[in-house]
Amino acid sequence: MMAVSYVDTASKVSIDFGKIEELEKSVARLALDVGDTALAEGCVDVAAAVYGGLIKRFAGSEFTSYRHRAKLGLEKIEEIRN
């Protein structure tokens, strides 16, 4: 991953986009953990909401594996419901 930063010298604000991306990945991992735990505990509605939200929120190729895992979770939910 290439480190990209933005510095606004007038307001002295510095943004490290690499850190933002890492934070977003941490949020995606946490969402998967919550969805997986909810599914394991039989809370399929919660798991479905979490997985669906993850798929909608995280776009881009860097989140492909997270979306794929969420889709697998939704497939398990469909199996349970049918």
Overall size of the chain counted in residues: 82
pLDDT tier, 6 (very low <50, low <70, confident <90, very high otherwise): low
Upper half-sphere CA count for residue 26 (Cβ side, 13 Å)? 6
What's the pLDDT score for residue 11?
Answer: 63
For the cut 50, the answer to whether the pLDDT of residue 1 exceeds it is no
Domain spans, the chain: 29-82
What's the pLDDT score for residue 51?
Answer: 97
What's the pLDDT score for residue 7?
Answer: 56
Q: Which residue has the tokens 């941490």?
A: 26
pTM above 0.95, yes or no: no
Q: How do residues 59-82 score in pLDDT, each as one tens digit?
A: 889 899 999 999 999 999 999 999
What's the pLDDT score for residue 16?
Answer: 78
